[in-house]
Amino acid sequence: MITAASTTKTSLQKRGWRLCFALALSLTLSPFQAQAQAQANSTQPPLTFVVGYAPGGTTDIIARIVAKELTLQTGQTVIVENKVGANSNIGAEYVANGPTNGTRFYIGSTANAINKSLYKKLNYDIEKDLAAVALLGTVPNMLVINPALPIQTVADYIAYARANPGKLTCASSGAGSAIHMSCELFKIQTNTNILHVPYKGSSLALNDLLGGQVNSIFDNMPSVLQQVRAGKLRALGVTTATRSSFATDIPTLAESGLPDFSVQAWFGLFAPSATERSLLIRVNQSVTKALTTDATKTSYEHAGIALPSAPNTVDTFTAFVGQEVQKWSAVVRQSGTETQ
């Protein structure tokens, strides 16, 4: 017997397949054919990119750049929805338990790899309940301080922390965020006592850093680079293994006496795990194309975001996420930051 519920489910599935087919089709059409296809797609309901943070942060910036470029390429509107709370877990759970027809995606980040081991009780598993689709970009975290501190280098920072246990404060966008865990990894490798001060978002933490209420932060570079250039904050180092092409004058922490320190904040597209693999591959191809346009490259460069290196496939991103989960599990365990 065909019920109303089964009819609705079939309709949603067909609609989702049509939308993702439209994205993939844009890869093979001529410019004139693509324009005609885009006009036809404009009548379809929008796709949704869910961001687990408030507007304005790096995750939100990347989501909006990619959504805009996909909309321009395909004519299929892609909107960004901010589902804020619980260190991005609310947004992740919302997508993990959502439709599997290719109409709703999650913009995940390093925080979600950390969350798997940080939280004892989660209503989703990043590896089991979400399917990795494509890496969207990476950024270094940058150790920056309030210029009032008598500190010029990473070595000075370490020496000051050791001479003043618990006096230095390290702000973050929230407990368990990549910003927080960068600080925890730093504390482990330097054997220092630095007080973590969590905030409900990076912008709030930066306001207090600028005001001198806290001393330092390991923030995503796009969030702090302008303040550094303006002389309002002092950059000590970036957390990636090599210097950022957007700030070549700022050394890495590895250069500054911590050879094993390497952290990059990453951002990627996820779908519910039950989504058909062929659909994931089609969306991956469309997103990969969107990342290669001049408009995207310019927007990323302006924000200080690095494009993912090739190959950027469903399989390579899936393997990368697994590696990140394992890496941060060890940091969470050593730092003792696991929640109840």
Q: Is residue 105 part of a domain?
A: yes
Cβ neighbours of 8 (radius 10 Å) = 10
Please, what is the end-to-end C-alpha distance for the chain in angstroms?
Answer: 47
Shared domain for 169 and 224, answered yes or no, is yes
Q: Is residue 248 part of a domain?
A: no
Mean pLDDT of 206-220: 96
3-class DSSP assignment, residue 246: coil
Q: Is residue 100 part of a domain?
A: yes
Shared domain for 192 and 314, answered yes or no, is no
19: confidence class by pLDDT, cuts 50, 70, 90: low
> What is the phi/psi pair of residue 47, to 5°?
-90, 155
3-class DSSP assignment, residue 80: strand
User: What is residue 339's predicted lDDT score, i.e. its pLDDT?
Assistant: 64
Shared domain for 234 and 276, answered yes or no, is no
Return the closest-CA partner of residue 216 out of 300, 149, 290: 149
- The CATH number for 196's domain is 3.40.190.10
Of 222, 238, 254, which residue is a domain's last? 238
Shared domain for 133 and 170, answered yes or no, is no
pLDDT tens, residue by residue, 93-152: 999 999 999 999 999 999 999 999 999 889 999 999 999 999 999 999 999 999 999 999
How many domains would you assign to the chain? 2
Of 238, 255, 287, which residue is a domain's last? 238
Residue 296 has pLDDT above 70, yes or no: yes
CA dist 213 and 206 (Å) reads 10
- Annotate 200-241 with DSSP letters as a single string: SSHHHHHHHHHHTSS-EEEEEHHHHHHHHHTTSSEEEEESSS
Return the closest-CA partner of residue 23 out of 283, 296, 276, 289: 283
55: confidence class by pLDDT, cuts 50, 70, 90: confident
Shared domain for 114 and 172, answered yes or no, is no
Return the closest-CA partner of residue 332 out of 192, 175, 171: 175
Cβ-contact 219, 142 below 8 angstroms = yes
pLDDT tens, residue by residue, 251-294: 999 999 999 999 989 999 999 999 999 999 999 999 999 999 99
Shared domain for 95 and 199, answered yes or no, is no
Cβ-contact 140, 246 below 8 angstroms = no
Q: Is residue 249 part of a domain?
A: no
CA dist 196 and 155 (Å) reads 19
Q: Is residue 225 part of a domain?
A: yes
In eight-state DSSP terms, residue 191 is: T
Q: Is residue 51 part of a domain?
A: yes
Shared domain for 320 and 222, answered yes or no, is no
Beta strands, E only, the chain: 47-51, 78-82, 104-109, 130-145, 169-172, 195-198, 216-220, 234-238, 264-272
The pLDDT mean for the chain works out to 88
Dihedral, CA of residue 306, residue 311, residue 314 and residue 316, to nearest 10 = -90
Shared domain for 115 and 189, answered yes or no, is no
Single-letter amino acid, residue 269: L
User: What is residue 20's predicted lDDT score, i.e. its pLDDT?
Assistant: 53
Single-letter amino acid, residue 234: R
Shared domain for 103 and 176, answered yes or no, is no
Mean pLDDT of 225-240: 95
Percent of the chain with pLDDT over 70: 87
Shared domain for 217 and 166, answered yes or no, is yes
Residue 237 tokens read as 């180092």
Q: Is residue 252 part of a domain?
A: no
- The CATH number for 286's domain is 3.40.190.150
Shared domain for 189 and 277, answered yes or no, is no
Q: Is residue 121 part of a domain?
A: yes
- Name the more confident of 58 and 142: 142
Environment class of 176 (CB within 10 Å of its CB; exposed 0-12, middle 13-18, buried 19+): buried
**Length of the chain (residues):** 340
User: What is residue 54's predicted lDDT score, i.e. its pLDDT?
Assistant: 82
CA dist 193 and 323 (Å) reads 28
Give 3-state DSSP helix, strand, coil % of the chain, rounded to 5. 45, 20, 35
- Which of 130-134, 166-170, 197-201, 326-330 shows the lowest mean pLDDT across its residues? 197-201
pLDDT tens, residue by residue, 29-38: 444 344 444 4
Domain that holds residue 37: 4-139+265-335
User: What is residue 45's predicted lDDT score, i.e. its pLDDT?
Assistant: 77
Shared domain for 118 and 13, answered yes or no, is yes
Of 238, 255, 274, which residue is a domain's last? 238
Return the closest-CA partner of residue 267 out of 122, 116, 118, 111: 111
